[in-house]
């Protein structure tokens, strides 16, 4: 039963609590332990896939070294909630297998946040007495043991060195805005869509945030706008953001949302994002909602059954997007030849002019084709014309075929063309007393160009994908009409 509940949750986004309640009502209790085991295995596989996607392999010896270091020295002291620059001692420098000079540096204490809970790891610099390491990512190389992955500069750093560990301040500030913004977004989704909304995954990066949630129907444009408005209203209030440690029981008693499938110890960190949102969270955050800045939802859509994804930007992100859009609109207005404020009307006018020109060109082509009907009729064999007329679209070929059929002495006509837009057009037209069937004339011909259609007795139209087979198709049409090849 646990495996079934996990499949419903993982594949269809069906909440465990709902599955358990329905099953128990029918006398089939769900194996929660089995469910948790499957969830843990999925997370393990996801982390392994993430490592592979980064193109880096952790050697077996390196992993053993990290485990030994953890056993000897304990976990890394994380100082990043109170400071962004810390003095530390290097405990280990381990080359990363197959990563072209990258190393994992382990410190006794660090302000660098290690990737977890959807929040990306910090970047920055570790500076020692004879060199430095430019940190490109921070992850857990063992439980609660920070690995600072980076590229040595100069002589790099060595075990025992006293170093200064400094994160990229602007990048961390952007991540904090997006992380606290994610909590407000979660609250707004529940407010607009309903209390059934539950987080199913997230990404908190410096340039954007992504939030996956359970929901059973499409989200309307009006709902997206309302969600966005609620978040920005909460930002403008500029409520304090409180981030503190407490017991799990006390946190849950205060109404803190615990994310399903996560493992929590007796002590947890709680984030109160203003007056609306209280959740368990170990990430880094702003100290007031106003620091988030404006939030703009840039996309929302389905990523699976009962599972949706919303992406957004905060801080300077919306301003940058607005500036880019203004630049594009100005360029479009210049191309159309109207002021930006009249762009919609200008485009509509140009589209109307384009349609009129296309109609005019089509009419001229049809007229020219019709005028050539007598020339084609002059090539008839036993009253039947089979010819190739490239450059005409399907409608023009049809018009020309009917014009040829109406010429004196013509019993039937088959015309083939490779229109400029691609593909193949085949049209057959016969007179009522010809003894011919239009559909039969081009049935086999259509197969030669990878197409089909054309079932009419007096007039048949078929299409195909392969212009290279058009000559073969017309040869088959001649054979169907009883003409020599």
Average pLDDT over every residue of 192-206: 95
Q: How long, in residues, is the chain?
A: 485
> DSSP secondary structure string, 33-88?
HHHHHHHHHHHHHHHHHHHHHTT----HHHHHHHHHHHHHH-SPEE-TTT-SEEEE
User: Hey, which of 18-22, 42-46, 51-55, 462-466 has the most confident mean pLDDT?
Assistant: 462-466
Q: What's the confidence (pLDDT) of residue 269?
A: 93
Fold for 60-167, please state it: Elongation Factor Tu (Ef-tu); domain 3 (2.40.30)
Q: Is the pLDDT of residue 290 over 90?
A: yes
- How, if at all, do strands 412-417 and 384-388 pair? parallel
pLDDT tens for each residue of 365-413 = 767 766 788 889 999 999 999 999 987 888 889 989 999 999 999 999 9
Task: With cut-offs at 50, 70 and 90, classify the pLDDT of residue 261.
Answer: low
Q: Is the pLDDT of residue 123 over 80?
A: yes
Range name among 200-204, 231-235, 396-400 with the lowest pLDDT average? 396-400
Domain boundaries, the chain: 2-53, 60-167, 173-321, 372-480
Average pLDDT over every residue of 214-230: 97
Q: Is the pLDDT of residue 331 over 80?
A: yes
CATH label, 372-480, candidates 3.40.50.450, 3.10.310.40, 3.10.180.10, 1.10.357.10: 3.10.310.40
Q: What's the confidence (pLDDT) of residue 208?
A: 97
Cα–chain center distance at 254? 36
Cα(300)–Cα(224) distance, integer angstroms: 8
DSSP tag of 407: S
Helix (H) / strand (E) containing 164: strand 162-167
Q: Is the pLDDT of residue 90 over 60?
A: yes
Q: Could you tell me which CATH class the domain 173-321 is placed in?
A: alpha beta
Cα(2)–Cα(233) distance, integer angstroms: 42
With beta carbons less than 8 A apart as the criterion, state whether 162 and 87 touch.
yes
Q: Is the dihedral of CA 198, 200, 202, 208 positive or negative?
A: negative
The CA–CA distances, whole Å, from 75 to 123, 141, 164, 398 equal: 20, 11, 19, 79
Q: Is the pLDDT of residue 51 over 60?
A: no
Average pLDDT over every residue of 37-42: 73
Q: Is the pLDDT of residue 437 over 70?
A: yes
Per-residue burial over 319-337, b if 16 or more Cβ lie within 10 Å, else e, is eeeeeeeeeeeeeebeebe
Provide the token pair at 169: 């301040």
Helices 169-193 and 221-237: crossing angle in degrees, nearest 10, is: 120
High-pLDDT (> 70) share of the chain, %: 89
Task: With cut-offs at 50, 70 and 90, classify the pLDDT of residue 163.
Answer: very high
With beta carbons less than 8 A apart as the criterion, state whether 370 and 404 touch.
no
Task: With cut-offs at 50, 70 and 90, classify the pLDDT of residue 56.
Answer: very low
Q: What's the confidence (pLDDT) of residue 55?
A: 34
Cα(140)–Cα(159) distance, integer angstroms: 19
DSSP tag of 129: S
Q: What's the confidence (pLDDT) of residue 266?
A: 84
Cα(123)–Cα(238) distance, integer angstroms: 28
Beta bridge partners of 200: none
Residues with Cβ within 8 Å of 306's Cβ and at least 6 positions away in sequence, in order, are 12, 13, 14, 214, 215, 216
Average predicted confidence (pLDDT) for the chain? 88
Q: Cα-Cα-Cα-Cα dihedral of 374, 380, 385, 387, to 10°?
A: -80
């Amino acid at each position: 039963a646990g495996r079934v509940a996990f499949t419903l949750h993982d594949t269809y986004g069906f909440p465990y609590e709902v599955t358990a309640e329905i099953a128990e009502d029918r006398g089939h209790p769900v194996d929660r332990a089995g469910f948790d085991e499957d969830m843990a295995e999925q997370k393990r596989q996801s982390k392994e896939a993430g490592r592979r996607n980064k193109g880096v392999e952790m050697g077996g010896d390196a992993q053993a070294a990290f485990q030994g270091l953890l056993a000897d020295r304990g976990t890394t002291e994380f100082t990043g909630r109170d400071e962004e620059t810390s003095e530390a001692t290097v405990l280990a420098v381990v080359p990363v297998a197959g990563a072209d000079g990258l190393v994992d540096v382990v410190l006794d204490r660090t302000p660098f946040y290690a990737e977890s809970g959807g929040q990306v790891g910090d970047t920055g610099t570790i500076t020692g007495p004879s060199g430095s390491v430019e940190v490109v990512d921070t992850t857990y190389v063992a439980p609660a043991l920070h690995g600072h992955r980076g590229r040595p500069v100069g002589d790099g750093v060595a075990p025992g060195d006293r170093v200064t560990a400094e994160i990229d301040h602007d990048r961390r500030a952007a991540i904090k805005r997006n992380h606290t913004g994610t909590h407000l977004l979660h609250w707004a989704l529940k407010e607009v869509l309903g209390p059934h909304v539950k987080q199913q995954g997230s990404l908190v990066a410096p340039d954007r945030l992504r939030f996956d949630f359970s929901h059973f129907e499409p989200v309307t444009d009006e709902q997206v706008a309302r969600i966005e408005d609620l978040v920005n209203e909460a930002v403008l209030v500029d409520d304090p953001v409180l981030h503190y440690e407490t017991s799990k029981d006390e946190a849950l008693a205060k109404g803190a949302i615990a994310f399903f499938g996560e493992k929590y110890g007796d002590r947890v960190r709680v984030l109160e994002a203003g007056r609306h949102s209280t959740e368990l969270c170990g990430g880094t955050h702003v100290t007031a909602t106003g620091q988030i800045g404006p939030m703009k939802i840039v996309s929302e859509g389905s990523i699976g059954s009962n599972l949706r994804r919303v992406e957004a930007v905060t801080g300077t992100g919306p301003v940058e997007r607005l500036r880019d859009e203004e630049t594009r609109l100005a360029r479009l207005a210049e191309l159309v030849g109207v002021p930006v404020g009249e762009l919609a009307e200008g485009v509509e006018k140009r589209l109307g002019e384009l349609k009129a020109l296309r109609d005019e060109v089509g009419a001229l082509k049809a007229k020219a084709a019709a005028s050539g009907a007598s020339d084609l009729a002059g090539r008839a064999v036993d009253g039947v014309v089979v010819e190739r007329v490239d450059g005409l679209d399907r409608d023009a070929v049809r018009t020309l075929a009917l014009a040829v059929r109406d010429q004196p002495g013509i019993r039937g006509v088959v015309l083939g063309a490779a229109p400029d837009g691609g593909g193949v057009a085949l049209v057959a037209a016969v007179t009522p007393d010809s003894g011919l069937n239009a559909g039969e004339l081009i049935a086999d011909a259509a197969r030669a160009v990878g197409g089909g259609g054309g079932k009419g007795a007096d007039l048949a139209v078929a299409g195909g994908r392969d212009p290279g087979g058009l000559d073969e198709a017309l040869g088959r049409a001649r054979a169907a009409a009883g003409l020599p090849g």
